[in-house]
């Protein structure tokens, strides 16, 4: 059963990089690398199909977040490309590469510290190689890039320099040519910066356009309905204006249902009327606060005798 795997394997730079075009061995055949084992027949059959002319070369592999947000790599890290389709020769997969002019000084200065690492996809199955169970690649399905990295493996190297850089011949380029080249580089960088600014501006505008519109403020319909119901229940009760006021104040204070408070107040007023004797000539307050815990009774000494 084959499983598709992402391949990251490297090769070591060798020789003196003094030109733009180099012959390199991308990966060695019948070699165990960090991602698996690469049989010669797999590299010979599939290598030329996927590592074709124009395959990009970057400085360093993409980070995981760059794979999502910049799947095609960075312009600043774009360093070169394959100058022809890869081919199998002698002990591995070879190709001529061309380093971009502005990256030559960097590649040359780091020649003893960096290598070339391929990134590809392939189908593999587990097998025993030299006493170890490892993925063995039965096919290579897609190439992503061949990158310059700090540490690489799987046996590769720069075989020879095919074309010398013009810059190596001191005095061959006139001051006018150098100035023209510098101007072209500046224009290129300015164009990239303008594109970046335009993209960021459009992205910001798109973000603003996609923001959801603020929801209109909703009126508290429940509060309005509750107030209306309270007013209707108080109006329908037999309480006096003073009694209704007391009930409303108690409702606001303790949150008890208004109906329950009205019934309690009405019961209390009725009980008070029944227990308080009528006194001729004295106007008696019939309602007392429902908050009082003791009932008010008229003292007997306040009773007024009737004239015979």
| Cα separations in angstroms, 18 against 56, 99, 165 | 20, 10, 7
User: The dihedral of CA 194, 195, 200, 201: what is its sign?
Assistant: positive
The rounded distance, in Å, linking the Cα atoms of 155 and 95 is 14
Whole-number pLDDT of residue 177? 63
| Confidence bin at 270 (pLDDT 50/70/90) | confident
The rounded distance, in Å, linking the Cα atoms of 269 and 266 is 5
Ranges 37-51, 109-123, 280-294: which has the least confidence: 280-294
277 compared with 30, residue with greater pLDDT: 30
Closest CA relative to residue 152, chosen from 114, 207, 107: 114
Strand partners, 37: 32, 136
Whole-number pLDDT of residue 84? 95
Axis crossing angle, helix 221-236 with helix 258-275, rounded to the nearest 10: 20
Tokens of 273: 């009327």
- 182-193 pLDDT, tens digit each: 777 777 788 888
Q: What value does the mean pLDDT take over residues 141-159? A: 74
Strand partners, 7: 120
- 34-45 pLDDT, tens digit each: 889 999 999 999
Q: What value does the mean pLDDT take over residues 220-241? A: 76
Q: What value does the mean pLDDT take over residues 134-160? A: 79
Radius of gyration of the chain (CA): 46
- Structural domain spans, the chain: 3-166, 223-292
Give the three-state DSSP class for 109.
Answer: helix
The rounded distance, in Å, linking the Cα atoms of 83 and 99 is 9
Whole-number pLDDT of residue 67? 61
pLDDT at 104 over 80: yes
- 289-305 pLDDT, tens digit each: 444 444 444 445 444 44
| Residue matched to tokens 């429940």 | 222
Whole-number pLDDT of residue 287? 44
Give the three-state DSSP class for 232.
Answer: helix
The rounded distance, in Å, linking the Cα atoms of 112 and 1 is 41
Whole-number pLDDT of residue 245? 85
Q: Where are the alpha helices (DSSP H) in the chain?
A: 40-50, 64-69, 104-109, 175-210, 221-236, 241-254, 258-275
The rounded distance, in Å, linking the Cα atoms of 108 and 96 is 17
Residues 6+ apart with CB under 8 A from 212: none
235 compared with 80, residue with greater pLDDT: 80
Whole-number pLDDT of residue 19? 52
Does residue 137 contact residue 37 with C-beta atoms inside 8 Å? Answer: yes
Tokens of 192: 């990239």
pLDDT at 49 over 80: yes
Share of the chain above pLDDT 70, in %: 66
pLDDT at 259 over 60: yes
Whole-number pLDDT of residue 80? 92
pLDDT at 260 over 90: no
Q: Report CA 177 to chain centroid distance, whole Å.
A: 47
- 155-186 pLDDT, tens digit each: 655 565 564 433 444 444 556 667 777 777 77
């Amino acid at each position: 059963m084959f499983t598709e795997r992402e391949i990251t394997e490297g090769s070591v730079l060798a020789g003196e990089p003094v030109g733009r075009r180099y012959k390199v061995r991308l990966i060695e055949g019948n070699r165990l690398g960090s991602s698996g084992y690469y049989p010669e027949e797999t590299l010979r059959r599939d290598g030329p199909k996927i590592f074709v002319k124009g395959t990009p070369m970057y400085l360093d592999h993409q980070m995981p977040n760059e794979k999502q947000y910049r799947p095609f790599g960075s312009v600043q890290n774009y360093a070169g490309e394959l100058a022809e389709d890869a081919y199998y020769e002698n002990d591995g997969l070879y190709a001529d590469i061309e380093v971009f002019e502005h990256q030559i000084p960097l590649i040359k200065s780091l020649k003893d510290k960096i290598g070339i690492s391929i990134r590809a996809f392939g189908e593999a199955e587990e097998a025993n190689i030299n006493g170890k169970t490892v993925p063995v690649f039965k096919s290579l399905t897609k190439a992503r890039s061949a990158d310059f990295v700090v540490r690489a493996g799987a046996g590769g190297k720069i075989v020879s320099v095919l074309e010398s850089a013009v810059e190596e011949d001191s005095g061959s380029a006139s001051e006018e040519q150098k100035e023209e080249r510098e101007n072209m580089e500046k224009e290129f960088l300015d164009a990239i910066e303008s594109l970046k600014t335009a993209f960021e501006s459009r992205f910001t505008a798109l973000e603003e356009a996609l923001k959801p519109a603020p929801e209109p403020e909703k009126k508290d319909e429940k509060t309005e309905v509750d107030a209306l119901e309270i007013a209707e229940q108080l109006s329908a009760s037999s309480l006096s204006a003073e009694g209704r006021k007391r009930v409303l104040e108690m409702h606001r204070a303790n949150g008890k249902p208004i109906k329950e408070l009205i019934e309690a107040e009405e019961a209390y007023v009725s009980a008070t009327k029944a227990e308080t004797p009528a006194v001729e000539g004295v106007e008696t307050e019939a309602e007392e606060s429902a908050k009082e815990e003791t009932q008010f009774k008229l003292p007997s000494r306040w009773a007024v005798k009737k004239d015979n």
